[in-house]
């Protein structure tokens, strides 16, 4: 069974061709979504509604609710994984493993800077990359060795291809 994380499911729901194609090769009966992912996406949709009500986003209140409704409909088709004590233990282990991987990759980046490229702050997905790097809770972290003095991100070339 393959469990999609929040970032991956969001890209699939948005219709990102790369993610949709990758998911399409996984049999539907093998696809699942942890209930925590559903919670994170719902929190995001509710946040957009609140921001629209306060006039802090360029989305109308009607559009914010329309997005919420579409998301709710999309969720009805998914196989949910309950949050059990065993699931929490796996999540904590994965988080620990991810941090260990990040530490190893950072050490590698310091030893082999040629394995990294830069993403300038003006790049369209710079903010998303930076947020992913800062969000170690995410399973789809872009591995980085930091930022240049100008703010450009140094990103693992191999990971960037998959992003």
What confidence score (pLDDT) does residue 84 get? 85
Angle of helix 61-75 relative to helix 35-53, nearest 10 degrees?
A: 170
66, 30: one domain = yes
Asked if the structure places residue 89 within a domain, the reply is no
Backbone angles phi, psi at 119, to 5 degrees: -120, 110
Q: Going by DSSP bridges, is the β-strand pair 153-156/116-119 parallel, antiparallel, or unpaired? A: antiparallel
What confidence score (pLDDT) does residue 19 get? 87
Q: Going by DSSP bridges, is the β-strand pair 80-81/144-147 parallel, antiparallel, or unpaired? A: unpaired
66, 135: one domain = no
42, 107: one domain = no
Q: Final residue of a domain: which of 31, 57, 81?
A: 81
Q: Per-residue pLDDT tens, the chain, 163 aa: give them.
A: 888 888 888 888 888 888 899 999 999 888 989 898 899 999 999 999 999 999 999 999 999 999 999 999 989 888 898 888 887 887 777 777 767 776 776 677 667 767 667 777 787 777 777 666 665 444 444 455 566 777 766 666 555 544 4
43, 106: one domain = no
Domain housing 21: 2-81
Asked if the structure places residue 157 within a domain, the reply is yes
Whole-number Å distance between alpha carbons of 14 and 128: 15
What confidence score (pLDDT) does residue 83 get? 85
Phi-psi region of 151 (alpha: psi -120 to 50; beta: other; left: phi over 0): left
What confidence score (pLDDT) does residue 114 get? 73
72, 100: one domain = no
What confidence score (pLDDT) does residue 109 get? 67
Work out how many domains the chain is built from and give that number: 2
What confidence score (pLDDT) does residue 144 get? 54
What confidence score (pLDDT) does residue 134 get? 62
């Amino acid at each position: 069974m393959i469990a999609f994380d929040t970032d991956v499911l969001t890209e699939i729901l948005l219709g990102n061709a790369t993610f949709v194609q990758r998911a399409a090769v996984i049999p539907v009966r093998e696809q699942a979504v942890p209930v925590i992912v559903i919670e994170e996406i719902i929190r995001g949709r509710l946040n957009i509604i609140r921001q629209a009500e306060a006039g802090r986003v360029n989305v109308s209140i009607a559009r914010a609710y329309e997005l919420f409704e579409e998301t709710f409909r999309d969720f009805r088709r998914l196989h949910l994984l309950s949050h059990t004590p065993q699931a929490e233990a796996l999540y904590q282990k994965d988080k620990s493993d991810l941090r260990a991987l990040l530490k190893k990759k950072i050490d590698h980046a310091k030893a082999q800077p040629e394995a990294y490229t830069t993403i300038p702050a003006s790049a369209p997905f710079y903010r998303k990359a930076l947020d992913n790097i800062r969000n170690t809770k995410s399973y789809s972290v872009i591995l980085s060795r930091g930022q240049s003095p100008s703010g450009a991100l140094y990103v693992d070339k191999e990971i960037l291809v998959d992003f």
